[in-house]
Amino acid sequence: MSEAFEAPRYILTEEDGTETEYELVFRDMLRGTEYGVLAPADENEEAALCIVEILADEEQEAEDIRPVEDDAVIEQVFSDFLEAFPELADESEEME
Can you tell me the mean pLDDT for 72-83?
96
Can you tell me the mean pLDDT for 32-42?
94
The confidence score (pLDDT) of residue 67 equals: 93
Closest among 59, 18, 17, 71 to 42, alpha carbons compared: 18
Domain count, the chain: 1
Is there a domain that residue 32 lies in?
yes
Is there a domain that residue 4 lies in?
no
Is there a domain that residue 71 lies in?
yes
DSSP-derived 3-state class of residue 18: coil
For the entire predicted model, the pTM comes to: 0.80
Is there a domain that residue 1 lies in?
no
pLDDT bin (cut points 50, 70, 90) of residue 15 is: confident
* Percent over 90 (pLDDT), the chain: 54
Domain residue limits at 17: 9-95
Is there a domain that residue 3 lies in?
no
Angle at 3 between CA 7 and CA 24, to 5 degrees: 5
Is there a domain that residue 2 lies in?
no
> 61-88: buried (b, 16+ CB within 10 Å) or exposed (e) per residue?
eeeebeebeeeebeebbbebbbeeeeee
If one counts every other C-beta atom within 10 angstroms of the C-beta of residue 47, the result is 16
What does the pLDDT look like over 23-32, one tens digit per residue? 999 999 999 9
Can you tell me the mean pLDDT for 46-61?
82
